[in-house]
Amino acid sequence: MQLHGWEAALFYVLAIMTLFMAVFVVTARVAVHSALFLISTLVNVALLFILLRAEFVAGVQILVYVGGVMVLFLFVIMLVQTRAEEESRVRLYTGQTWPAVIIALLLAGSFYFAMSPAQAAFRPPDATTAIAETAERASAGAGLNISKDTQEVGEQLYRQAALPFEIASLLLLVAMVGAVLLARGTKQEKYYE
Amino acid sequence: MTVLLALLLQTPPRAGGPPSPGPVATPPIYGYIPIVIFFLIAVLLPVVLLGVSRLVQRQVFEREKLMPYECGVDPIGDARDRFSVRFYIVAMLFLVFDVETIFLFPWAVIYDRLAVFGLVEMLLFIGILVVGYYYAWQKGALEWA
Amino acid sequence: MQALLTTLLFVAPGWVRDWITHEKQPNVFWSEYIVWPLIQIVIVVIVVLTLVAYLTYLERKVSALIQARLGPMRVGPWGLLQPLADGIKLLIKEDIVPIKADRAVFLVAPIISLVAAMVVLAVIPWGAAWATIANVNIGLLFILAVSSVGVLGLVLAGWSSNSKYSLLGALRSSAQMVSYEIGMGLSIIGALMFARTLSMSGIIDAQQTDSLWGLGYFLYQPLGVLVYLTSALGETNRAPFDLPEAESELVAGYHTEYSGFRWALFFMAEYSSMIVTAAVAVTVFFGGWYFPGLGLVKNPTLFVLLSIVIFGAKIAVLLYAYMWFRWTWPRYRYDQLMELGWKWMIPAGLANIVLTGVFYVLALPKAQGGLLGFMHEEKGRLIPTKLGILYFIVTGFVVTIPIVWGLLTTINRRSRDFNLHEQRQLQVNLRRERLEKMLQQGAGTQPAEGGQ
């Protein structure tokens, strides 16, 4: 699937915004401000998903990351006292800055070389295929002009990937047990056993 | 050059046969445009209202007024202190159950086609999570005493 | 050069292409996706804001009538202009930012809350056909997702105020909201198994074919409705779960430090999320804008107008119920509240899903592996037959509710905290035992325990 017209423009705007927000996450001095920027990064990524026709994933991104993980992050930030660091005049950019930049550049380079085969296979988008795709999707929506994205996700997940799905439930179980174990105190232990 | 032409016209080249008029099929993604407009209006609304409020209100600054409220007494210490770890457990458990709910959505939507296989699959999934739920309950993670 | 031109043309809007090619194309884009939605959105925003204002009036009126008072009567006839007066008062009030507050976050938090509560109004099917603003595939998921963002606004408000009451209130209400969000998500899965779509309009269409006279899924999912409505009360911080605003303990919860119109934004967010939860309940369980007999109307314009009226009336009934609950039930204690969310709502939601799944599979057509064959296929959809409708209603009311009630009372049998009567009996019994012991020891000896 290829984007063109306004969609391509929107894609680049959103992508650049995502990157800027991600940079702000790292440079903000107050931890809660970082969290706010992270929220906007995640919302931008959700919008990118919608642009790429992955509507269900976009919804999940907002529900789990923005509505769930970020609440947890804020709780953690509030739980740990970061007041001293926020108010101190310690320099934000230390000796670690340059190694971090170099590692980031190396990572970007490796991404680029990993992607280049795909880049080579890239054809300039063809208007005819796009229109055909659009018409096909519109007719698939049974006249309602809405996509079948959730149904497709379901078909893939519960027919093709039944075993990984069950393994995911085991992972959730481990996460739950871990959460309970991490946060219980000895007093609680005594009281309930 | 043909690519450029096709681009310019943005219509499928008519390979013989009658041209098909009728409404232009728009991608389903366009359904999100009204939501984006709504978002912009929803952001604009409080900003405009607060701006109006700023214009018509009268502001008098006093030290006493700008202090955090603590029943009339001068506030003691900083409010951002450590708090009970229980809120943290609740947030963690919420996350696990949130992900579980997410998994149930695409399952429910195609449940008629999955039929018995889907039921068994989901019974296993919910069963495994109920084990974790039982553990959390037994360890007192769900208590608030 | 040509590549650059190609790229530029991709980005160019339609009218530029029209101008270059001198060919007018039928373009429904602007009318369909910009202008008409804009009109709808402006109408919806104005109506909802007015409704929010008048909900505060209604809240006062209903509470007054329940307590045998008159309520606001001074401003306008029967106090009808009271919301306007309140609005003007809030606009000209001073907007205070405490010294120790984190200014940026303090200013942004109420806006996050309000935007999260308002944006979901875009996908709610206010009526048939052209009355719906946006019909997207993930409608219901979108509503759940965006309204969960509202929690962030309130956590940030509590944190940035740098006041003890605000922080505690924010923690309490966010923990409460996330707890009840799970129950809410689980309770609608049962209805989704019948509807087989997440699109809000799709769910209403499905109910017209699936349920008895198109009344709605509440007939098949009575337990789902109960769990949903309870969770919705908890999610919107309404009484009897209004712990974050327990005036007697926490002053005003997370918005203690807010004043003037910034405080009003929180208030608006709260009331519009009330409207949203009511609208979702109407859409998923009560048949949306459809009511038996609406199909008799042949004029399409009248049909749509009537559908909007029906949808509004159903929401109004639920909103009245919200207020009625508030003045009927006492406030919960915080541990009871969390217990209700985690130990009653979540198991009930899960049990409802499992039982609905089992009953659904049994009713499938025999060709698809069902035993009873209470469903048949029509236009690519499985639809329950007349017997099937009866079967789903009976299983919903007569089988599911007793089973789940039995299950919940069994797993919660040791929770004395929840049962206030039990708790009181415990104290009474202890006291009686102590007294009896004292009596047995005889009147002459000094009782070991004093008047403790």
User: What's the pLDDT at B8?
Assistant: 42
User: What's the pLDDT at A128?
Assistant: 54
- Nearest beta carbon to residue A158 from set B102, B121, B135: B121
Shortest CA distance from B104: residue in chain A: A154
Percent of chain C with pLDDT strictly greater than 70: 87
User: What's the pLDDT at C284?
Assistant: 92
Is there a contact between A79 and B135 if contact means CB atoms under 8 Å apart? no
Shortest CA distance from A57: residue in chain C: C138
Nearest CA-CA distance, residue C66 and chain B, Å:
32
Q: What is the mean pLDDT of residues B26-49?
A: 85
CB pairs under 8 A between B and C: 248
Q: What is the mean pLDDT of residues C143-171?
A: 87
pLDDT digits (tens, 9 = 90+) for C196-235: 888 888 888 888 888 778 788 888 889 999 999 999 998 8
* CB-CB neighbours of B32 under 10 Å: 22
| Mean pLDDT value across chain C | 83
Is there a contact between C11 and A6 if contact means CB atoms under 8 Å apart? yes
User: What's the pLDDT at C445?
Assistant: 54
Angle (deg, nearest 10), helices A31-51 and C139-161:
170
Report chain A residues whose CB lies below 8 A from the CB of C152: 39, 66-67, 70-71, 74
ipTM: 0.81
- Bridge partners of C376, per DSSP, are C383
pLDDT digits (tens, 9 = 90+) for B45-90: 999 988 888 888 887 777 777 777 766 667 766 767 667 777 888 8
Q: What is the mean pLDDT of residues B2-30?
A: 46
Where does the pLDDT of residue A109 fall: very low under 50, low under 70, confident under 90, or very high at 90 and above?
A: very high
Whether the per-residue pLDDT at C448 is higher than 60: the answer is no
User: What's the pLDDT at C188?
Assistant: 92
User: What's the pLDDT at C29?
Assistant: 67
Which of B9-23, C89-103, C291-305 has the least mean pLDDT? B9-23
Report chain A residues whose CB lies below 8 A from the CB of B103: 157, 165, 168-169
Q: Kindly state the helix (H) or strand (E) to which residue C168 belongs, with its residue range.
A: helix C164-195
Q: Kindly state the helix (H) or strand (E) to which residue C206 belongs, with its residue range.
A: helix C200-210
- Domain parsing of chain C, residue ranges: 1-91, 93-336
DSSP string, C249-318: HHTTGGGTT--HHHHHHHHHHHHHHHHHHHHHHHHHHS-TT--TTGGG---HHHHHHHHHHHHHHHHHHH
Shortest CA distance from A72: residue in chain B: B91
Where does the pLDDT of residue A190 fall: very low under 50, low under 70, confident under 90, or very high at 90 and above?
A: low
Q: Tokens 């209604």 label which residue?
A: C58
Q: Which residue has the higher pLDDT, C19 or A20?
A: A20
DSSP string, chain B: -HHHHHHHH-S----SS----SPPPPPGGGGGHHHHHHHHHHHHHHHHHHHHHHHH------TTTTSPPSTTSPP-S-S-----THHHHHHHHHHHHHHHHHHHHHHHHTHHHHHHHHHHHHHHHHHHHHHHHHHHHHTTTT---
Closest CA to B142 of A161, C272, C412: C412
Report chain A residues whose CB lies below 8 A from the CB of B110: 151, 154-155, 158
Closest CA to C241 of C305, C158, C309, C331: C331
Is there a contact between A59 and C142 if contact means CB atoms under 8 Å apart? yes
- Nearest beta carbon to residue C151 from set A8, A67, A145: A67
Closest CA to A163 of C407, C45, B9, B125: B125
CB A124 within 8 A of CB B4: no
Whether the per-residue pLDDT at B24 is higher than 50: the answer is no
pLDDT digits (tens, 9 = 90+) for A54-104: 889 999 999 999 988 998 888 888 777 666 666 666 666 677 888 888 999
Q: Assign C382 to helix, strand or coil.
A: strand
Q: How far is the C-alpha of A170 from the C-alpha of A164, rounded, in Å?
A: 10
pLDDT digits (tens, 9 = 90+) for A149-160: 888 888 888 888
Query: Rg of chain B over CA atoms, in angstroms?
Result: 29
| Phi and psi angles of residue A97, each rounded to the nearest 5 degrees, phi first | -60, -50
Where does the pLDDT of residue C443 fall: very low under 50, low under 70, confident under 90, or very high at 90 and above?
A: low
pLDDT digits (tens, 9 = 90+) for C260-290: 888 889 889 989 999 999 999 999 999 888 8
Nearest CA-CA distance, residue B134 and chain A, Å:
10
Q: What is the mean pLDDT of residues C356-384?
A: 81
Whether the per-residue pLDDT at C159 is higher than 80: the answer is yes
Nearest CA-CA distance, residue C12 and chain A, Å:
6
Where does the pLDDT of residue C246 fall: very low under 50, low under 70, confident under 90, or very high at 90 and above?
A: low
Tokens of C450: 């004093």
CB pairs under 8 A between A and C: 96
pLDDT digits (tens, 9 = 90+) for C276-334: 999 999 999 998 888 888 878 778 888 888 899 999 999 999 999 988 888 888 888 78
* Bridging pattern class, strands C381-384 and C375-378: antiparallel
- Residues found in chain B: 145
Percent of chain C with pLDDT strictly greater than 90: 19
pLDDT digits (tens, 9 = 90+) for B101-119: 999 999 998 888 888 888 8
Half-sphere exposure of C120 (CA within 13 A, CB side): 30
Give the CA angle between residues C149, B78, C165 to the nearest 5°: 50
CA–CA distances in Å: residue A22 to residues A2, A26, A153, B9, C149: 25, 7, 29, 39, 19
CB C274 within 8 A of CB C322: yes
User: What's the pLDDT at A110?
Assistant: 93
Shortest CA distance from C17: residue in chain A: A5
Is there a contact between B28 and A150 if contact means CB atoms under 8 Å apart? no
- H/E/C letters for each residue in chain A? CCCCCHHHHHHHHHHHHHHHHHHHHHHCCCHHHHHHHHHHHHHHHHHHHHHCCCHHHHHHHHHHHHHHHHHHHHHHHHHCCCHHHHHCCCCCCCCCHHHHHHHHHHHHHHHHHHHHHHHHCCCCCCHHHHHHHHHHHHHHCCCCCCCCHHHHHHHHHHHHCHHHHHHHHHHHHHHHHHHHHHHCCHHHHHHHC
Q: What is the mean pLDDT of residues A18-46?
A: 90
Q: Assign C377 to helix, strand or coil.
A: strand
The answer to whether C367 faces chain A, any CB pair under 8 Å, is no
Mutation choice for A interface testing from B26, B96, B107 by most A CBs within 10 A: B96
* CB-CB neighbours of C46 under 10 Å: 10
Mutation choice for A interface testing from B119, B139, B143, B144 by most A CBs within 10 A: B139
Name every residue whose Cβ is closer than 8 Å to that of residue C204 and which is 6 or more positions away in sequence.
C125, C283, C287, C288, C289, C290
Mutation choice for B interface testing from C92, C99, C221, C361 by most B CBs within 10 A: C361
Report chain C residues whose CB lies below 8 A from the CB of B31: 134-136
Q: How far is the C-alpha of C156 from the C-alpha of B15, rounded, in Å?
A: 60
- Domain parsing of chain B, residue ranges: 30-74+83-138
- Nearest beta carbon to residue C9 from set B8, B23, B118: B8
CB B38 within 8 A of CB C146: no
Whether the per-residue pLDDT at A138 is higher than 60: the answer is no
User: What's the pLDDT at B89?
Assistant: 84
Nearest CA-CA distance, residue B12 and chain C, Å:
13
Nearest CA-CA distance, residue C146 and chain A, Å:
7
User: What's the pLDDT at C27?
Assistant: 58
Q: What is the mean pLDDT of residues C359-374?
A: 80
Where does the pLDDT of residue C248 fall: very low under 50, low under 70, confident under 90, or very high at 90 and above?
A: low
Tokens of A180: 């309970």
- Residues found in chain A: 193
Is there a contact between B4 and C5 if contact means CB atoms under 8 Å apart? yes
- Nearest beta carbon to residue A146 from set C12, C137, C151: C137
Where does the pLDDT of residue B9 fall: very low under 50, low under 70, confident under 90, or very high at 90 and above?
A: very low
Name every residue whose Cβ is closer than 8 Å to that of residue A18 and which is 6 or more positions away in sequence.
A41, A44, A45, A48
Nearest CA-CA distance, residue A34 and chain B, Å:
17
Burial class (CB in 10 A: 0-12, 13-18, 19+), C362: middle
CB A25 within 8 A of CB A37: yes
Q: What is the mean pLDDT of residues C103-121?
A: 90
- Output the pTM of the full model: 0.83
C-contacting chains (≥3 CB pairs under 8 Å)? A, B
Q: Assign C211 to helix, strand or coil.
A: coil
Whether the per-residue pLDDT at A38 is higher than 90: the answer is yes
Is there a contact between B142 and C34 if contact means CB atoms under 8 Å apart? no
The answer to whether C151 faces chain A, any CB pair under 8 Å, is yes
Torsion of CA C261, C265, C270, C274, to 10 degrees: 110
Nearest CA-CA distance, residue A141 and chain B, Å:
8
User: What's the pLDDT at C13?
Assistant: 54
Nearest CA-CA distance, residue B1 and chain C, Å:
9
User: What's the pLDDT at C276?
Assistant: 93
CB B6 within 8 A of CB B13: yes
Burial class (CB in 10 A: 0-12, 13-18, 19+), C281: buried
The answer to whether C105 faces chain A, any CB pair under 8 Å, is yes
Which of C253-257, C341-345, C442-446 has the least mean pLDDT? C442-446
User: What's the pLDDT at A188?
Assistant: 54
User: What's the pLDDT at A107?
Assistant: 94
- Nearest beta carbon to residue B27 from set A67, A137, A184: A137
Q: How far is the C-alpha of B134 from the C-alpha of C370, rounded, in Å?
A: 32
Shortest CA distance from A162: residue in chain B: B121
Is there a contact between A66 and C13 if contact means CB atoms under 8 Å apart? no
Is there a contact between A169 and B99 if contact means CB atoms under 8 Å apart? no
- Nearest beta carbon to residue B37 from set C37, C165, C364: C37
Is there a contact between B100 and A69 if contact means CB atoms under 8 Å apart? no
User: What's the pLDDT at C452?
Assistant: 41
Nearest CA-CA distance, residue A44 and chain B, Å:
12
Which of B62-66, C41-45, C448-452 has the least mean pLDDT? C448-452
Shortest CA distance from B98: residue in chain A: A64
Where does the pLDDT of residue A135 fall: very low under 50, low under 70, confident under 90, or very high at 90 and above?
A: low
Is there a contact between B98 and A72 if contact means CB atoms under 8 Å apart? no
Report chain A residues whose CB lies below 8 A from the CB of C199: 144, 146
Burial class (CB in 10 A: 0-12, 13-18, 19+), C419: middle
